[in-house]
Structure 1
Amino acid sequence: MSSSSTPPSFVPKPLEAGQDPPSYISSATKDLTSFFTSPRFERLQRPYSPLSVLSARGSVPQTVAHTTHSATLLWEILNRNFAAGKATLTMGAIDPVQQSQMIREGLEVVYVSGWATSSTFVRDGAEVGPDLGDYPYTSVPAQVERMRKAQAVQDRREWDEVIAAHEEGKVKNDFKSYIRPIIADGDHGHGGLGSVMKLTKLFAEAGASAVHFEDQLHGGKKCGHQAGKVLVATSTHISRLIAARFQWDVMSCPAILIARTDSESAKLIDSDVDPADHEFILGVVPPTNDPEFRPLAETLLSAERSGASGAQIDKLEREWTEKFPLLTLDRAIADALTAAGWSAEKIEREYTAKTRDMSNPSKHLYATQTLGIDVKWDSLAPRTREGYFHFQGGLSAAIKRANAFAKYADLLWVETKTPDVQVARQISTGVRGPNGEKKMMVYNLSPSFDWTKHGFTTESLKSFTTELGQLGFVLQLISLAGLHLSAASSCEFVRSYLTSGMEAYVRLVQKKEKELGTDVLTHQRWSGARVVDRVLGAVASGNSGVSAMGEGSTEASFHEK
């Protein structure tokens, strides 16, 4: 696919002293147009002009060379593996130690999870806690920056050994770069479009090669595998994606944008403003012979003000929805047509096929004026106390949303409630780019699933990622692997340490590090102490006595026979 081409080398020039602004604007606009129309972006749409970007850029453009480098590398990795039907595997790392081992052992990219950050690494004095999108929005960019700088330390350590060998007249050919792309969790953008742009800017400055944004509501966000998720309108999330791309364009950054939808399991949506969502919005057919019928929110608020407990209010809500079943307008009209003697085939031919792309008001008008069916369907009556509409989540909704996002994002992510190859195949088949092309997809190999309860055998577990890769799920991540790895290994060690003392450490940690050959065994070298020694030796004479790795360093014992 031609979009696998890397973006052109694009370092915008500043307005120079004395330069004629009109000529600069003309030249800069031409450069931006070339950037926009490069093969890297040929499948994407930008509903704004190069001049709009130039206006927001300032006379001295800001660039992020490290992010441009890693984003270009990530684009090459993803396209290479996508063309081969292979998966790019990664996991969520929670610290530089995990990250360094991921890279050392061959993972090509690093993932930074919002959930793990919320639970382990929040900023500005906030408390750690579950991922409700309510942690400081600087937290994940700060974690990305921490990881990027840790990569640089490891990379300098490896490169220093190449230079040291060169100084001795030797050749060291086993250099391994630790500069690897970082993919980051942008949650829902943490606010309005201004917040999305500020967050996107922070990610680019921190070094994130790719960021994903999900279509959940700020203030109503839940982890992808929690209940109670509230979606935003399709058009609202598209605006977020456009805002993120615009911000990166201002910075001349080809970072990769991932659009995620949580609509497969969502039950609420904040607005019915977008007709694209109407077929999934739920309402009720109010009874014509019940003078005491009241909307759900009114019923619950009345009970609350009368002193009802939370449990009593929950019971009232269940009873209300059982008495007045939720259904889409399409279902309500189809039921009325069936009651009027229409066959399923006639309903499909005369109603469904002819109203497929209509808004709900247009469908209702068509049913009334053309078909003679006047259904008193109401989507306002069952709204929640917060004003949210009920939503019929599922694969149909998720695939429709992913297709709507495809014009604006490089990769698409449909969050699923179960790990299932057949569901993944439906997503792969149903999701397409604006010209019908197959899109690169993301799959969350989530620890929220109890993988032992989904019918997997040892062999099908081994082949799961391979099968997904063949379906186009080119990026696959165990989002919280780092968190669970840390818990499992720490629990095992401490439990044994309390009864066996240092024997537990030697057996479970140091002996295992030796067997695996992990470089953290010699943690002083791993942390870059040799590099610091050589730097100090270059800038100050007579410092051998204070060399961290000099005579007396206990790490020498690990190299003794």
Structure 2
Amino acid sequence: MLGKRFQSTISRFPYPSKSQQYRYYESQVEQITKWWESSRFKGIKRTYPAELVASHRGSFNIQYPSSIQATKLFNLLNERFLERKPVHTIGSIDPVQISQSAKNQEIAYVSGWACSSVLTTTNEVSPDFGDYPYDTVPNQVERLFKAQQLHDRKATSEWIQNPQRDQIDKIDYLRPIIADADTGHGGTGAVMKLAKLFAESGAAGIHIEDQLHGGKKCGHLAGKVIVPTSTHITRLIATRLQWDIMNTENLVIARTDSETGNLLSSAVDPRDHEFILGVIEDVKPLSEVLYEAESQGADSSKLNEIEQSWLEQNKLYTVSEAAELKLKELGKSIETFNEFQAQSKGKSLYDTKQIFKELTSHDLKHDIEAPKTREGYYPVKNGIDVAVKRSIEYAPYADLLWLETKTPNLKYAQDFAERIHKIHPDKKLVYNLSPSFNWSAHGFSEQDLQNFIWDLAKAGFVLQLVSLAGLHTNAVSNFELSEAFKDQGMKAYVELVQKKEKEIGCDVLTHQKWSGANYYDELISAVQSGSSQTSSVGKDSTEHSF
């Protein structure tokens, strides 16, 4: 009898009746609805109801530390955006770097490029083509977040036990982490699983770019393929839905690589049509020309030559450019062209051609199929216009917008920000202070370089990052030490490392203490009282010499 009652109680966990279970669901719907109306989600659009989210939450109400960090990040960005001041940081690749930057950097950043080239879950390092296992960056985030928590516990314990604690500040090691989610690593399901992994691992925010999964390349490499605008919006919605189900406030950043991306994976979205390039003559499609050459034995180098020759012989135009040429050929006035531009702006190819015919009684020849690549990608006219249009479309679904640029140009960035803020005045912007730029080759004075971050912030680029700073500082310091150590031995180590650690107050000087030896020894001693002889930080520890 007791066994049956016990089993019955377990089966009803956590709610004693069906009606209470349903009331819990209804309370969740109410809570979600109010949550979405809060200032945290001002300007954020969802395409699904609160009922859907509530019905997929299950019975456990879990609080994720990443959401706490996200709230911290959101408040910090809000404050700085209103002040038009920056939140800027340097990318970290290991626990040493993330702990050493905590004193002076308010946030932390984890780069997919760095993870791809330094640490993947398969230990197979490679270029940033987004082809590493999708758990690679979340695993790195988890590693760094756990390191942050260790150093936070150490710092808190030391501060509380310090009699002079009222006179000193405790370093905040729990700096919110922003991480690179690349393209989302797959379809909608993969994006949601990746978003879940990041939230569980400790990332306060992630950025997702509009490149093609499987064709992704580093934002500063050539040959980038972008996806339809609608595809990327789906990624942003999927990320938000996953976090809504988890009841977290993590931030999603919509990044566009369309400023330099020269190919489009599909022409399915009419919003992309005005930028797709086509031919205005009847020509054999490029893919057919290449197929015929290959079937006749042409090797890869010969195929590349044939492709270049085809593109040189067949000039590509946007539909607007094709219309301008045709209007000139027909002898139409500038007024007709202006009328065509006004009516066709942002329209699909079909509608654009219909408008042209209504204005001129002539058909407009513009074939976007002929120049497609062998993979089926459409050439597009990249640049600031497509980047602005896409960013405006992404804005309702993202917390911040990221424009990936080919040069560090302040005026260019300011123009982009101005165009975005005409439509979305409260949207925060992100800027990649990339080491891929040869900063010394862009005409900056020393004063320009020093002011660059703060000038960007005045335009609304509140979040700024040197994505691979950790990678490059690691390389510089190790190269310098290894070169000097070859001839100078320990003199080089003492002068380049240990002496400098002492001078600047770097706590890794006493690396045993930095790693938590003192912190854990105190806990072990509390359990194993009377074991001072086995203490790891006893009188024989060499770190007492510092």
- Compute the TM-score of the two structures, normalised by the length of structure 1: 0.93
Return the offset for 1:316.
0.8
Return the offset for 1:176.
2.0
**From 298, 313, 326, the counterpart of 1:336:** 326
Matching of residue 246 in structure 1 with residue 241 in structure 2: yes
Return the offset for 1:497.
0.5
In structure 2, the residue matched to 1:160 is: 157
What SS class does the counterpart of residue 212 from structure 1 fall into?
strand
**From 316, 323, 326, the counterpart of 1:326:** 316
**How far apart, in 1, do the equivalents of 2:433 and 2:291 lie?**
40
What SS class does the counterpart of residue 35 from structure 2 fall into?
helix
Return the offset for 1:154.
0.7
- Counterparts of 1:75-114 in structure 2, within 5 Å, are 75-104=74-103, 106-114=104-112
In structure 2, the residue matched to 1:355 is: 344
In structure 1, the residue matched to 2:133 is: 136
Moved over 3 A (4+): 169-173, 343-346
Return the offset for 1:172.
6.4
Aligned length: 533
**How far apart, in 2, do the equivalents of 1:204 and 1:70 lie?**
10
Question: What amino acid does structure 1 have at the position aligned with 2:372?
Answer: R
Return the offset for 1:26.
1.7
Give structure 1 stretches of 5+ with no counterpart.
1-13, 288-292
Do the aligned partners of residues 54 and 15 (structure 1) sit closer, same or farther apart at CA in structure 2, a change above 3 Å counting? Answer: farther
User: 8 Å contact 1:268–1:389 — kept in the other structure?
Assistant: yes
**How far apart, in 1, do the equivalents of 2:536 and 2:422 lie?**
56
**From 113, 116, 125, the counterpart of 1:115:** 113
**How far apart, in 1, do the equivalents of 2:160 and 2:264 lie?**
58
Structure 1 residues 380-426: Cα deviation after superposition (integer angstroms, max 9, x where no partner): 00000000011111000000000000000010001000000110011
What SS class does the counterpart of residue 82 from structure 2 fall into?
helix
Return the offset for 1:171.
5.6
**How far apart, in 1, do the equivalents of 2:257 and 2:146 lie?**
32
Matching of residue 270 in structure 1 with residue 268 in structure 2: no
Return the offset for 1:549.
1.1
- Counterparts of 1:444-455 in structure 2, within 5 Å, are 444-455=432-443
In structure 2, the residue matched to 1:69 is: 68
Question: What amino acid does structure 2 have at the position aligned with 1:497?
Answer: F
Do the aligned partners of residues 15 and 272 (structure 1) sit closer, same or farther apart at CA in structure 2, a change above 3 Å counting? Answer: farther
User: 8 Å contact 2:274–2:346 — kept in the other structure?
Assistant: no
User: 8 Å contact 1:92–1:481 — kept in the other structure?
Assistant: yes
- Counterparts of 1:267-416 in structure 2, within 5 Å, are 267-287=262-282, 293-348=283-338, 350-416=339-405
Return the offset for 1:345.
4.2
Return the offset for 1:261.
0.2
- Compute the TM-score of the two structures, normalised by the length of structure 2: 0.95
User: What percentage of aligned pairs have identical amino acids?
Assistant: 47
User: 8 Å contact 2:430–2:462 — kept in the other structure?
Assistant: yes
Return the offset for 1:165.
2.9
Question: What amino acid does structure 1 have at the position aligned with 2:34?
Answer: S
In structure 2, the residue matched to 1:55 is: 55
Q: Cα RMSD between the aligned structures?
A: 1.5
In structure 2, the residue matched to 1:535 is: 523
What SS class does the counterpart of residue 209 from structure 1 fall into?
strand
What SS class does the counterpart of residue 89 from structure 1 fall into?
strand
Question: What amino acid does structure 1 have at the position aligned with 2:345?
Answer: R
Do the aligned partners of residues 216 and 170 (structure 1) sit closer, same or farther apart at CA in structure 2, a change above 3 Å counting? Answer: closer
**How far apart, in 2, do the equivalents of 1:483 and 1:103 lie?**
17
Structure 1 residues 6-51: Cα deviation after superposition (integer angstroms, max 9, x where no partner): xxxxxxxx96232513322221110110111111102100110011
Return the offset for 1:369.
3.4
What SS class does the counterpart of residue 440 from structure 2 fall into?
helix
What SS class does the counterpart of residue 16 from structure 2 fall into?
coil
**From 500, 506, 511, the counterpart of 1:512:** 500
**How far apart, in 1, do the equivalents of 2:277 and 2:40 lie?**
40
**How far apart, in 1, do the equivalents of 2:45 and 2:14 lie?**
28
User: 8 Å contact 2:25–2:55 — kept in the other structure?
Assistant: no
In structure 2, the residue matched to 1:146 is: 143
User: 8 Å contact 1:15–1:24 — kept in the other structure?
Assistant: no
User: 8 Å contact 2:485–2:492 — kept in the other structure?
Assistant: yes
User: 8 Å contact 1:126–1:135 — kept in the other structure?
Assistant: no
**How far apart, in 2, do the equivalents of 1:535 and 1:270 lie?**
57
